[in-house]
Amino acid sequence: MNKQKLFVASCVSLVTTSMVFAIRGDVADPMSRAFQLTNEQMGLIFSPAFWAFTIAIFLSGALVDMVGMRSLHVLSALGYIVGIAFVLAAPHPTAPVASIFDTTGTTLLYIGFLIMGLAQGLVEGVINPLVATIYSAEKTKRLNMLHAWWPGGLVIGGLLAVALTQTINASWQVKLSTILVPAIIYLGMAVSQEYPRTERVTSNVSTATMWREAGKPLFLLLFVCMWMTAAAELGPDQWFPKVMGDLVPQLQGVLFLVYTAGLMFLLRTFGSGIAHKNPIGTLLVCSILTGVGLYWLGGLQPGTSAAVAFAAATIFGIGKTYFWPTMLGVTAEQFPRGGALLISLMGGAGMLSVAVALPIMGAKIDKLGPGAALQFVAVLGAILTVIFGALLVYFNSRGGYRPVVLEKETAA
C-alpha cells in the first residue's frame, strides 16, 4: 500500500469535485439558452449537486466497509465520466419546455447532473475515512491538507473557465469536458492502488458499536455545529460573486471568491499543523474571525474601496479556512469507533446545511439587501464562538484535547 499515492489520488478526486462546482456556475447561462430553460428549470437541473451529493455521502458511510474504499473510489470516477457523457450527448430541444422531463434532451441533462452529484458524494464518502485510516496519528492535519484541494479546485476551475472564454471563446461543452481530465487521472490511480480496510474494521469494532457512537452527546453537539460551520463557510461563498459585485462594482465579484479560495488553499496546505495542535481552539478562533469578517463585509457600502473590501474578505477567508476539515478531524479523532459512518454523517450534515442556507440567504438578499444577508449569517459565528469556547473549557478541564486511540485487540 502506497500512502502517498492514495493521498494524491484523494486530492485529485477532490479537485474534480470542486471543479464541477466552479465550472457548472460558469456554463449555466449558455446551457440554459441551448436547452431553452428558465432559471428555475436550471435550478432544478442543478439541484442534485446537493441532495444526491448528500445521499451518496450517507450511503458510502454505511457501504464503504462492505464493498471497500477502492470500489467506491473507482465508481465515483466512472460517475463523473458517465454523467458528463450524458450531458454532452443530450439533444437540444427545438422549443421551450414546460417540464424538464418533457424532452429527451432535458431529461438526459437532469440524469447527467444527478450522476455527477452522486459521484461527488462518493468522493467525499471515501477520501475522508481513507485519509483518517492511512494517517491515523495525524488525522486533523492530513484532513486539512486534503481539503486544501477543495478551494484549490475552485481556483483551477474558475480560472480555467475564464481563460477558455477569453482565449478561444470556448463553448460550454468544452469547459464541461475539462472535468474529465482529473477524473480520468484519479481513476487510473485508484484502479492501480491497494486500499486499506478502515481503522474501525482493522480494530475489530463491531457495526453495532459503530452505530451506537452516533448517539453520544458530544457527537450530537458536533453534528449540530457542522450545520452552522458549513452554512457560515459555504453559504456566503455561493452568493459571493453577486454580493461583492453589488458592493464593489468596480471589480468582478468572482475575484473575491477566487481570492478567498486561494487563501484557504495556502492556509490548509501549509498551516494544517495549527489545527492539528489544537483543533477546538482553532474552531473557536475561526468562529470569531468568520463572524467578524461577515459582519464587516455586510457593513460595506456600494463604492467601498477595493482595499477595504479585500481586508474584510481576508478576515472572513482566514476564519472559514479550517471549519470543514477540522470538524471532520475532530469527529475522526474523538470517535474512531464510529468509523466512516460518523465522518460521512458529518459531511452529509454540511451539504444539507448549504442546501437549506442558500434559499434563506437569497430571501434575505431580496428583502433586506446583500449586506444584511451577510450580517445575518454572521450571527452563526457568535453562536459557534460560545459553543466552541465551552468545549475548549471542557477539554481543558479533562487535561486537554487528546485523540482517542483504538487498540488493535478490541473485541468485535
Classify the phi-psi angles of 93: left when phi > 0, otherwise alpha if psi is within -120 to 50, otherwise beta: beta
Full-model pTM: 0.87
Beta-carbon contacts of 158 under 8 Å, excluding residues fewer than 6 positions away, are: 22, 26, 254, 257, 258, 261
Helix, strand, coil shares, percent, the chain, to 5: 80, 0, 20
pLDDT level of residue 58 (50, 70, 90 thresholds): confident
pLDDT at 241: 67
The answer to whether the beta carbons of residues 91 and 382 sit under 8 Å apart is no
pLDDT level of residue 408 (50, 70, 90 thresholds): low
Domains 1-197 and 202-412 share a fold: yes
The answer to whether the beta carbons of residues 133 and 199 sit under 8 Å apart is yes
Residue 357 corresponds to which amino acid? A
pLDDT at 242: 67
- What CA dihedral angle connects 265, 344, 11 and 149, to 10 degrees? -20
Lowest mean pLDDT among 38-52, 207-221, 261-275: 38-52
Q: pLDDT tens digits, residue range 286-331? A: 999 999 999 998 888 877 788 888 899 999 999 999 999 999 999 9
Provide, rounded to the nearest whole percent, the portion of the chain with pLDDT above 90.
56
Cell reading at 1: 500500500
> Is the pLDDT assigned to residue 398 strictly greater than 90?
yes
pLDDT mean over 109-119: 94
> Is the pLDDT assigned to residue 411 strictly greater than 60?
no
> Is the pLDDT assigned to residue 116 strictly greater than 90?
yes
Q: What is the mean pLDDT of the chain?
A: 89
pLDDT mean over 150-174: 90
In the chain, what is the greatest distance between 2 CA atoms, to the nearest angstrom? 69
Question: Is the CATH code 3.40.50.2300 the one for domain 202-412?
Answer: no
pLDDT mean over 43-50: 80
pLDDT level of residue 409 (50, 70, 90 thresholds): very low
pLDDT level of residue 27 (50, 70, 90 thresholds): confident
The answer to whether the beta carbons of residues 174 and 35 sit under 8 Å apart is no
> Is the pLDDT assigned to residue 376 strictly greater than 60?
yes
Residue ranges of domains in the chain: 1-197, 202-412
Q: pLDDT tens digits, residue range 347-374? A: 889 988 887 887 788 788 888 887 888 9
| Cα–Cα–Cα angle for 254, 255, 256, rounded to 5 degrees | 90
The answer to whether the beta carbons of residues 346 and 206 sit under 8 Å apart is no
pLDDT at 206: 83
> Is the pLDDT assigned to residue 410 strictly greater than 50?
no
d(CA 364, CA 270): 36
Fold of 1-197: Growth Hormone; Chain: A; (1.20.1250)
d(CA 347, CA 354): 11
pLDDT at 372: 87
